[in-house]
Amino acid sequence: MASHRRPKQPSRTRVTVLTATAAAAVALSSQAAQADPHQSKKDVKSEVDKLYGEAEQATEKYNGVKEQQEKLQKEVDDLQDKVARGQGELNQLRKGLGAVASGQYRSGSIDPSVQLFLSGDPDSYLEKAATLDQLSGKQADQLKTIADKQRRLAQERAEAASKIEDLSETRKALGDKKDEIKGKLGKAQELLNKMTAKERAAMQAEEDRANRSNSRVNLGDDVPASQRGAAALSAAQSKIGSPYVWGATGPSSFDCSGLTSWAYQQAGQSLPRTSQAQASAGTQISSQSALKPGDLVLFYSDLHHIGLYAGNGQVLHAPKPGANVRYESINNMPFMYGVRV
């Protein structure tokens, strides 16, 4: 039997998740401008870190908008399918009533009320209640069913049109946020490009040392928050060394909330996509001393960064563009609170 499922509209180009390097790529050359002599390497690093922080703030907003876009797209698809199925059902109902009318016509006794209905709007027709007296009970029920179906279809079409408009606005917001992230990363790369080769090498060496320090981290013997928390932490630990990529949710690269949501998914627990939403995924823990391995840890006043508490004052997280998943001291960032999922 032929399906009434409406073919999906061709999807727009999907938002491609770009690596921080690709998003901000600016070719290095021997002719690159030298840094401002009054701006030290420390100042440049501070400004780059500030831009990376702003890019991460924008990334979490991007993640939220992207999640909203995916939800709206599903709602639109479901509504369009529902309308298509409803139209098919309506066509069958009309066909059945038409068969009744055809039989009456062949016998020379077509009911004027049926004839009127088939040539006009059922809603208007049904308002003339007195006319229903001319119909058999079965015909009246058929007409009412068709009229109700038409009203529902009109409502569903209007709802689908509204959702499509919302989806269009969300896509624009997504594009704007993507441009903002690329702009921040681009500015950071421009600053890095103005440094001397020696300064860039020294900065990269610092980053490499931070990435290698994981093998020397003492996590202590803290008891995990729960069996599920322990499983989530174990999953995240298996991804140490994976690169930070904005908008990424694994399994080979992550942003901060992408890592925590992926880790808990491996433990059988679904988490919201963004750090701000994950902040409400469990019981809030205000004291660092009360944290246990597997707890979520939120940083910064707007909660735009999140990681997993690993024990002994260490947090496991996807830090920033250009860095890998690694342990760091919980005191390296402004701690807000923990969450026990």
Q: What are phi and psi of 300, to 5 degrees?
A: 70, 150
The average pLDDT across 312-326 equals: 94
Q: What is the pLDDT of residue 161?
A: 86
Q: Is the separation of the CB atoms in 327 and 315 below 8 Å?
A: yes
Q: Of 173, 328, 334, 318, nearest to 246 (Cα)?
A: 318
Alpha carbon 5 to chain centroid, angstroms: 26
Per-residue pLDDT reduced to its tens digit, 165-190? 888 888 898 899 899 999 999 999 99
CATH 1.10.287-classified regions of the chain: 41-105+117-194
Q: What is the pLDDT of residue 186?
A: 92
Buried/exposed 135-166: b ≥16 CB within 10 Å, e otherwise: beeebbebbebbbebbeebeebbeebeebbee
Query: What is the three-state SS of 130-147?
Result: HHHHHCCHHHHHHHHHHH
Rounded Cα distance, 261 and 239, in Å: 13
pLDDT for residue 62 is more than 90: yes
Q: What is the pLDDT of residue 33?
A: 37
Residue 34, classified by CB atoms within 10 Å of its CB into exposed (0-12), middle (13-18) or buried (19+), is exposed
Q: Is the dihedral of CA 280, 284, 324, 41 positive or negative?
A: positive
* Domain 221-340 = CATH 3.40.50.300: no
DSSP calls for 198-238: HHHHHHHHHHHHHHHGGGG---TTPPPS-HHHHHHHHHHHT
41-105+117-194 is classed in which CATH architecture? Orthogonal Bundle (1.10)
Mean of per-residue pLDDT scores for the chain: 79
Q: What is the pTM of this model?
A: 0.64
Cα–Cα distances in angstroms (integers) from residue 110 to residues 107, 126, 127, 135, 146, in the given order: 8, 18, 21, 11, 19
Per-residue pLDDT reduced to its tens digit, 90-118? 777 777 666 555 544 444 455 555 554 55
Q: Which residue has the tokens 């100042």?
A: 43
Dihedral angle of Cα 48, 54, 58, 59, to the nearest 10 degrees = 50
Q: Is the separation of the CB atoms in 24 and 250 below 8 Å?
A: no
Catalytic residues: 256, 305, 317
Who's near 95: CB < 8 A, 6+ residues apart?
none
- pLDDT-derived band at 333 (thresholds 50, 70, 90) equals very high
% the chain with pLDDT above 70: 74
pLDDT for residue 50 is more than 60: yes
Please tell me whether residue 309 adopts helix, strand or coil conformation: strand
CATH 3.90.1720.10-classified regions of the chain: 221-340
- pLDDT-derived band at 278 (thresholds 50, 70, 90) equals very high
Per-residue pLDDT reduced to its tens digit, 241-277? 999 999 999 999 999 999 999 999 999 999 999 999 9
pLDDT for residue 87 is more than 60: yes
